[in-house]
Each structure stands twice: as C-alpha cells, then as structure tokens.
Structure 1
C-alpha cells in the first residue's frame, strides 16, 4: 500500500526571498529533507542564525531543562498576541506561572469527565448532520463537518448551554485573521524586532474586534447572573484564583484565555479529526477494525466518558494522526543566553526551531515513518516522549491535551459506528501549514451509512 499524503521537503538551502515565499505558502516547505535523517541542522537566513532540532535529548533541554532560556519566538507572539493577548499561551515567566496555577484545576481529570457529555451531544449532532448528506457517490467535505462538531463542543464548554459566540462569526473572524496575519512576514525571516510593525497584522486585528466584544459581553452577563447549572470553563475560570497569591482574572484576562481555548481547542481538534477520517478512508482495513471495536463497545449509542478506555484502537488512530499530521507542526523559540545543544553553540537571539512534522517522520526514530500504522502506539513500543510532541511538552505542555484526546476519541468512535468513509480518486487533501497544519481544499470523502 502507498503511504498517505505528505509534504515535499526542500533539498537545497533557501535564501531570504525563497524562505519568505515558501513560509508564506506552507511553512513546512522550509524544512530541509536532511531533517528526516540528522539530529540537528544549523544555518543562517540573511543575518538570522537558526537551528532545527530533531534529537530528543536536545528538544528535552529546550522544552524542559532550560525552558526559561527558550521563550516562544517573537514571530509567534507577533502573530498571536492581537488575537489572544497575553494569555496562557503567550505569557512568559511569572505572568505565565500564575495563570497556569489558576487555570490548571479547570482541566483536572474530574472536570474533563464532567465536560464529556458536551462531547457526546456534539458527536450525536454531527452524526445527524452527516446522515443528511450521506449518499452513495456523493462527496462530503468532512473538514466542514468536524469544524461544526468541535465548535459545538468548545462553545458550550466555554460558555455553557446558552452559548455566547456564534460559529459563523467566530470561524469567519479566525479564517480572516489567519489568512491576513498568520503568514510569515519578510521581517520575521530577517529576525527583525517585534516593535517594527507588520502592516498585515495591524489590519487583521480589526477582524477580531467583534468576536472579542461578544466574549466580553458573555463574561459580563455571567458575572451578573452567577454560575449556571452546567459545568463550563467560564464559571470555572470566574472562580479560579492563583493558590499562592489569590489573584483572580480580570474580564480582559478571562476573555484572552477563553479565546485561546477556542482558537487552540476548536480548530486543532477539528483538523485532527478531519485527518483521522482521511486516514481511515485511506486504509479500509484499519477503519473496519476500529468500527468493529466501537460497535462492540457502543452498540448504537454515542460514546461517553466511560467508553474511552475501552476504545484503544480508536485512540491509537488519533495518536497516529497526530504523528503524521500534527496541528502544531512547527515550534519556534528564541534563545536568551548562550547555551550548547549537541555539538552546536547557541547564541542569544538565535532562533531554535523544532520541526515537529519532521521529528514525527524521522528515519532514526520511527519504523516505517511515512506509513499509517496505529499499532505503533499500542503501549508495547517504547516511544521517547520528546520524539512525539503533538501537544508540545515540558511545563508548557498544552493544558487541554487530555480534553482534546477525549473529545477526538468520543467523536471519531461515534462516527465510525454510523458511517463508512471511502476515499475519492484524485481528491486527496494537501497538507499545508500556515498557523496550523490544514488539509488544503478540505477532506472530501464518500460517506455511506453502515
């Protein structure tokens, strides 16, 4: 069987202009093919020194052992700050630490379990919508369907059953912002300071103003009304405080963090599910095995919190999807002080990149690295935690990782019990990363009821 779709990596050094064009088109195209074979690659683009890390030991140092020396890059902050402010995702140092302490209880195992019924309802609603479109010979864009499903989850999880934001408005605002602001600027490629304005980002921030105002209004309403009867993040965060200082979040800080969870938790899970359905259609044998597992556990009902542990193959499919098509396929840091990674000297101001997409396909770390092989995650194989980074790692590992995995398994298992997904010749998605790794053009599959 051939391998699923992948990104062709560059076979030659790129100059400033070529790097700029490639990064705006698909940031994964700046990764050298040698990154699939070597532990580390260093180079220079114009005046900017950079290093790409594929060695788990070096990655561990950057993300864990010397994390304070490697804050998120200025380019990353420049892209995201107009959308999510100085929230948990962007904040550094003491500002990050107090937010993390305050927010962590909201993502405890108990609260994730309490929020799982929202995922179950969204899975059932998604199945109903897809059933209306499923016809023999008819192509359905599953990316659109997964965006709708995960928005159902994140909207209710963040604001409660009465919602607070509309899908069309949020998705439209984010699409406009990403298209205008998330593409690399030539100033980023040159490593020029963040205080130099990137005109596209200044203009794009206006597209978010309505969404930010709606979120502020929802927070203000909830402050006046008091908590609802359902468990949701807004109520949890309104009650949250730093256990060391007692500091609570302002309305602006609440909004910035809620929008972080919407941006990070909505689109990334939708992308993972879309790629997972593509891979299930790519390999009907694995799809049928996962369907058999899900039907045995669930029968005709949707999946719930108590079912996830009984669906190991479904989880393995999600993990293998995150390996092949990690939503965050490229991490970037800026060194603050002199350091050494492997045999390479790191200087202050150097850009240190972790090309997660290449790490997950590295020839020395993975057997059959380009193949779709979920069984590699069956628990018997030893996988270094710093060779598999779907949610980053270290103290800044994604706080919603367990929530995202639970949601993805619940929705995928539910859909597999109801439908068969088949590939359509000539319509394989193209992996393109601007801010996240998306299937360009959507994921078009033939869907038939089981």
Structure 2
C-alpha cells in the first residue's frame, strides 16, 4: 500500500471530548461519571473557551494567559471554592489549600524538607519498593497482573516508610482504605458546585463522609503524639521528623499539631496517588509501544546491569525520564486546575469578571493542536530536549509560586521504579483490557492496567 494511503498509527486510549452543549443536567451527569467528559473538543483547538453553567467560566489553553494566572497575578486567582470544598474536610488548611500569608509561611517552612539533598537521601526507600514490586510481579507468574494496583502498593510503601519510618503507629491498609473511601464517597462534583452555591452550604456526600475523615485524621494525630512522646528518631530523619523541625525562616513559626496533621495527610494522599498513576500509565504506554519499551529496557540494563535503580542512576536514564514526562503529558494526574477570579481582568482578549471560574484543563492543554505536534500520539522523544517544550504548555505539576513542592520527589521515585521493572520484565497488553481514563479527583485508569509480565533472564 502506498505510504500516502497507509492507515494512521494506533493511538493510546483517550477521552472523547464534547462536540455539542450538554446542558446543566447533562454536564452534572458527565462530571459525576468522569470530569473530563465535560471538556469541549474546542479546548484542544482554541486558546480559550468560555461559557456559563450557573456561574461564568473560562477554560485557558494559552500559555501566556496561563502564566498570568499562575505567576503574574497569582493573588488574584486563588484556588476555586469547588477545589477547597472537595479537599478541605481531609487536609484542612494545609499547604495545598491555604492562601495568602497562611500559605506563604507554610511554604517557606516546608521548602527545605523537599531539598535535593533530602529527596536524594530517600532514594534507598524507593529502590526497596521497586525490588518488592518486582518480587510481587514475579510471584504472579506470566499471567495477567493489574499494574495499576501494583504501582499503588509500591508508592504507598514509599510514602508510608518515609512518613513514619515504618512505625507501628501507622496502619498502612487503614489509611489506604480511608483515602479510597473518601474519594468514592465525597470527591465527586455536586450540583451545588456547578450552580456556584456558597461554600457554607453543605454538600450531602461530603457531610456523610465524616467517619472516613475522622479515621484518617486519627492516624495522623496518633503518629504525631507518639513521636512527640517518644522523641525517637531513626538513623535518618523521615518526613515527620523534618516537619516537626520545620520553621519559617522569616517569622520563626512552627506548625501546630493540627497543621502538622493536615500537611502529613496532604503529603500522604498526594505523595503516592499521583506517582502511582504516572507509573501505571507509563507501563500501559510501554506495553502499547514495544519499540519504546525495548529502547527503555536497553537504557536501563546498560545503566543498571542486574541491580536495582538508585537515585544516583537518574542522569544515566534520560529516555526513562522522557517516558515519565510523556505519560504525564498524556495522562496528567491533576487533569484540571480551577481558580476563581477576584478582580476584573482580560485573558486572551476576553473579559473576566470577579467571581468567574477560570479552569486550566491540563488534559486539553497537553493535547492542544496549537501547541503540540501529533498531540494524541505517544512520543517520548518530544522530551529529549525539555528546554524546547514551552513552559506553560506543559504543566503536570502546575507552575508559579504554587508549583508542586514534591515534583522532584515524584519524578525520582517514578524513574527508579520504572527502570527497575523494565530491566527485569517485558510487559505486553491483554487483548480487550484497555484502561479507560476517568477523572474523579485524579485521572485514574478505570478497570486497572492489566498487563502480562514476562520475566527476563
């Protein structure tokens, strides 16, 4: 067949975007099923899309306008009430939720916790989790393995170990069940959210999730109380040690126990869920494209030989890092960021009024035809030169002052685990078991990521 008549290459799974208005009830049904289903197809073709659904809203896909919201006018665009309503019951007024001066002092205090030195020092915990994941996959034999579930177990092992040093006060399974329970019960959009109802009006599902939240809070409270009472420290400081010692260098202020608990839960939830999702999607993509997987395996084996990856190996694993970057582009865990305009403004030449919702649909931004070549294709080589990628066209961790504080931690963990797995196993897809990208709070693979894992000699 002539080249000009060859069928286009297959594309990895994606969400079909909306081509006609859904209306209020249709939008609510879609949002509760999968938030990404409310995104219009125009969002991957235009720099801005606006509308009204109870409140006025604007979706931004223009890098200059996004820079204005996230960097130049960040105080005028705080996190939306919907975002705060979803998360405040669990993480209170932690670093992720706080605004203004309360956010600034916490950020100054916590920043040293995620310094390069501390993140690199956590590498052995990540390497151990990679080894344990390999052992579980090998034990499952050559049959189908849900790698999404395996990656959740691996990253939860990391976050629990570096948070509590494996302390007996921490029940990993209980916290994991509580997180999933809260997301299932309360992290879906309410019609009150879509109508722009005030934050003080209770959302029934969130009000009923109280027992789940109490269990999560109790774990953090008990761990803090136990550590303060015992004063015990391990050979190296863990996250709880570092947070207990954290102090704002300007105000010399330290966190209260309540603030410590809120931030611990923030790091537990964000510190494992998002990295697990990235790894799961990366493995799906490697199985989808065997040539990419073979190239990545060759790089991993050249750097590692028979051993497990470590933090020191990252400079020798640029293609593995590019696969993680491309997985984050195609399936960003935080697929939509939402802000509320506090003052009138103009974005992309369009009027923005105080009170308008400004959405940054990262999923659509990363697939926008004005910004990316072959945007739905899996191509890690687009990140060979990361400096060539427009900064505000690629935002898996946000940007500006509120850029994700744990970004380097997440990337290091993902590369260590992915390199170790690919060096030891060949992953192939299970026919008819494609994952479905669904966003409730994060962008998850509905149905899991079922792959066949063949151990390599």
TM-score band by shorter chain is over 0.9
Counterparts of 2:451 and 2:77, CA distance in 1: 42
TM-score by length of 1: 0.98
CA shift, 1:380, in A, is 6.5
**In structure 2, distance between residues paired with 1:401 and 1:129:** 27
Kindly state the Cα deviation for residue 313 of structure 1 after the two structures are TM-superposed. 0.5
**Corresponding residue of 1:66:** 73
Cα-Cα RMSD: 1.0
Residue 164 of structure 1 deviates from its aligned partner by 4.1
SS at match of 2:393: coil
User: Where in structure 2 are the equivalents of 1:218-367 lying within 5 Å?
Assistant: 218-226=223-231, 227-367=233-373
Q: TM-score, normalised by structure 2?
A: 0.96
| Corresponding residue of 2:21 | 13
* 1:87-146 deviations in Å (ceiling 9; x for gaps): 0000000000000000000000000011111101111111111110132xx211011100
User: SS at the partner of 1:78?
Assistant: helix
Q: Among residues 424, 427, 450, which one is paired with 2:430 in the alignment?
A: 424
Task: Decide which of 167, 173, 179 is 1:174's aligned counterpart.
Answer: 179
Matches within 5 A, 1:167-206: 167-206=172-211
2:3 maps to what in 1? none
Aligned to 1:39: 47
SS at match of 1:353: strand
* Contact 1:156–1:163 (Cα < 8 Å) also in 2: no
Aligned residue for 2:158?
153
- Give the drift of 1:382: 1.5
Query: Counterpart in 2 of 1:27?
Result: 35
2:129 aligns with one of 122, 133, 139: 122
Per the TM alignment, residue 224 of structure 1 is displaced from its structure 2 partner at its CA by 2.0
State whether residues 169 and 226 of structure 2, in contact with CA within 8 Å, keep that contact through their aligned partners in structure 1: no
Q: CA deviation at 1:231?
A: 2.6
In 1, Cα distance between equivalents of 2:378 and 2:210: 39
Equivalent residue for 2:60, pick from 36, 53, 59: 53
Misfit runs of 4+, over 4 Å: none
Q: Alpha-carbon deviations, 1:275-324, whole Å to 9, x = none?
A: 00000000011001101100111111111111011100100000000000
- For 1:257 and 1:381, how far apart are their aligned partners in 2? 32
Q: Deviations over 1:151-205 (max 9, x none)?
A: 1100011111336433321221111111111100000011111011101101113
**Taking structure 1 as reference, are residues 271 and 35 closer, same or farther at Cα in structure 2, changes over 3 Å only?**
same
5+ long unaligned stretches in structure 2 = 1-8
Matches of 1:171 and 1:89, distance apart in 2:
20
Match of 2:92 in 1: 85
- Cα distance in 2 between the residues matched to 1:7 and 1:159: 38
SS across alignment from 2:17? coil
Give the unaligned 5+ runs of structure 1: none
CA distance in 2, matches of 1:391, 1:165: 28
